[in-house]
Amino acid sequence: MLYRNVSCIFLLGCSLLFISFVGGEKKTTNKIKTIVIDPGHGGKDSGTMGTKRYRIYEKHVALDVSLKLGAYISQSFPDIEVIYTRDSDFFLELNERTELANKVDADLFISIHCDGFTNPQPSGASVFVMGMSKLKENMDVAMRENSAMYLEDNYQQKYEGFDPKSKESYIVFSLMQNAYLNQSLNIAEKVEKEFSTRANRKSRGVKQAPFYVISRTNMPSILVECGFLTNPQEEDFLHSDIGQDYIASAIFRAFRSYKEEMEGNLFEKTKKEKINKKKDEEKIIEVSNKNISQINNVIYRVQIGTYLKSMINVPLFKEIGAFEENTQSIYKYYVGNTSDKNIVEKIRRDMKEKGFKDAFIVAFYKGKRISTKEALNLQKK
């Protein structure tokens, strides 16, 4: 029985890795043209319920804030296409939300929600990105939002055995690698800053958690918990028109700042620095390659990931100069090609800074993969 469960989890992990990047090649331009706003829940999925004073639900607040946010963006940037996963009170499956964003090739995905807890004291807004950092602290909220699956027909077959309430099911998320983590963190931090400094909202910070709805998007994605409907004082704020305006305008200002950075001089400066850095690394690698034949044909590379779908056209992979190895429908990606262990260590550190936290060094001898220990021994001869 244990073996069967582990196998199911592994298959689900592979499936998620494959689905998470379906949608083809991303746009190579830095200009933001399309944004998808996702009001959480809807229809028969009411989400968190407020107190009995208003009898409002999370689905209502999420929709109101989303529509206000979209209106702010459309008014200020009429050239940006704003698409809502829902614009009224109807039920939408989790996979339908991300499939829509991937289909329109969106440049940004923002999912709007409200928090809830059994204790009426907790308050404040949180911004989440997809990740496994501090999983234990954020598991409850991830389970609550992912439990919307239970309202879908045949959810077990549709999500291949994934159980939102089973901690074991979340093992699969540790296999996922988000090529847009840095950009997601960028806008998440801007939203958090606006909440705490301009909107005068208590901020619970930027967090990482395995939310299904932002695990399968092919673009930078965040999930915003606007506040606690289970806190009577905060419910008053979330229910009010001015409170929703504060929240929507805070997210809008963060978006505007993110857009300016991505399209403006700061981004171009950063881009040029990265290009120059890459050129320097290529020069180092070129020099090292000339000496490969002199040290027993030992080559070091940094492996940054393994996928079930080709990632070679993803902008980040192009930017870092990753190259692909396809073996039996498994795609492995490497960066660097040097005989110098010190250089490859530096490349590994750079890859970790770019979001590839599990990057590791591999060694090859005459085209055959060997252990790094064997490689070092060969170089000593």
323 pLDDT higher than 80: yes
Supply the pLDDT for residue 21.
42
Q: Is pTM beyond 0.75 here?
A: no
Are residues 230 and 125 in contact, defined by beta-carbon separation less than 8 angstroms? no
Alpha carbon 324 to chain centroid distance? 22
Residue 371 pLDDT class (50, 70, 90 cuts): confident
Supply the pLDDT for residue 125.
93
- What gap in Å lies between CA 307 and CA 305, rounded to an integer? 7
What residue ranges define each of the domains in the chain, with the CATH number in brackets? 2-263 (3.40.630.40), 288-380 (3.30.70.1070)
Most confident region among 9-13, 120-124, 158-162 by mean pLDDT: 120-124
Are residues 234 and 227 in contact, defined by beta-carbon separation less than 8 angstroms? yes
| pLDDT tens-digit series, residues 52-80 | 666 789 999 999 999 999 999 999 999 99
If we measure between CA atoms, which residue out of 214, 254, 30 comes closest to residue 131?
214
